[in-house]
Amino acid sequence: MRKTVLVPVLKTLCDAHIARDGSEQEATDTLALGARTWDLCTEHAATFGRYLVDTLGVPEDASAEPAPVAHEPEPVAVVEPVPVAEPSPVAESPRDVADVSEEAAEPEPMPSVMLAGEVPGYDWESARDAVRNAGYAVVGRADESTVLLILGEGGERNGHKLRDARERGLPVMDVREPGRFKSAVLSGEFVGGDPLPEPAKADRSGMSDRERNRVIRAWARENGWPNLPVQGRVPMNVRHAYELAQRDATEGKAAAA
């Protein structure tokens, strides 16, 4: 008779991962400054180590090898061995062996999501990093691995992704409501079920995206945004204000006529 004794395994999690996006990564090092201590993974321990060296310089005794940090061994389950009769050998055919090796050589594809628009409270890279940390790849166009469309502010302007989602019947997660994306990150689960909007009408001005951004920046500096950067993404609120101004101007001309 086999007897299994289960012993709880305690894990220390990286404080930096939890603070950044709520993900759980096992800590391997501890950073102590005065009365405060932080548990860090190998990646963040190296990052904060570089910060301290850049700020404070290399200590005089840096050449000395650091004392090894003692880590308590994690308790493991103890299983008492029980003698078992050896099964009779069974000859495997070459075909069976080949089939097993072929299945093992094909890894499971990683599920992917499309992200259309801007997520409130996140910049372009941090939103994608949060999705990747949850176990998804981020793709620009849907394929066989795509399981979800995450819709942010201005996502209805991305007609290609909306059409891909409609053609493939992908579920939609609308994260334009502040806090919804962060809640999904903390729970580690992105779930669809929201309606898919119709693509916004294409701009008939004939301008390219670069030319349009240049026009919006020039308008913004004269209408309440004097410190708008000359490069980078134009903020969504500035785009909306410009479009409303152009629409009001068009309606005014039509009324005057």
Buried b / exposed e over 216-231, threshold 16 CB at 10 Å, is bbebbeeeebeebeee
Question: Percent of the chain beyond pLDDT 90?
Answer: 19
Could you give the angle at the alpha carbon of 154 between the alpha carbons of 222 and 204, nearest 5°?
A: 70
Confidence of residue 50 (pLDDT cuts 50, 70, 90): confident
Looking at per-residue pLDDT, the higher value among 89 and 179 belongs to 179
Using one digit for the tens of pLDDT, what is the confidence trace for 220-233? 888 888 888 877 77
Residue 85: which pLDDT band, with cuts at 50, 70 and 90? low
Closest CA to 23 of 152, 151, 129, 178: 129
73 versus 185: the higher-pLDDT residue is: 185
pLDDT in tens, 134-143: 899 999 889 9
Rounded to whole angstroms, the Cα distance separating 198 from 154 reads 12
- How many alpha carbons lie under 13 Å from residue 199 in its C-beta half-sphere? 12
pLDDT at 174: 93
State the Cα–Cα distance between residues 173 and 192, nearest whole angstrom: 4
Q: What is the Cα–Cα distance from 116 to 154, expressed in whole angstroms?
A: 8
Both tokens assigned to 177: 């409501």
SS3 175: coil
What per-residue confidence (pLDDT) applies to 112? 93
Could you give the residue ranges of the DSSP H alpha helices within the chain?
15-21, 42-56, 94-105, 124-133, 159-168, 180-187, 209-222, 236-256
Per-residue model confidence (pLDDT) at position 242: 87
> What is the dihedral angle through the alpha carbons of 58, 54, 36, 75, rounded to the nearest 10 degrees?
-70
Q: What is the pLDDT of residue 170?
A: 94
pLDDT of residue 109: 79
Computed over every residue of the chain, the mean pLDDT equals 78
Can you give the pTM of this predicted structure? 0.42
Quick one: pLDDT at residue 7? 58
CA distance 50 to 42: 13
> Model confidence over 98-133: pLDDT tens digits?
455 555 556 777 899 999 988 988 988 899 999 999
Q: What is the mean pLDDT of residues 86-99?
A: 55
Is pLDDT of 70 > 70? no
Q: Would you state the pLDDT for residue 256?
A: 65
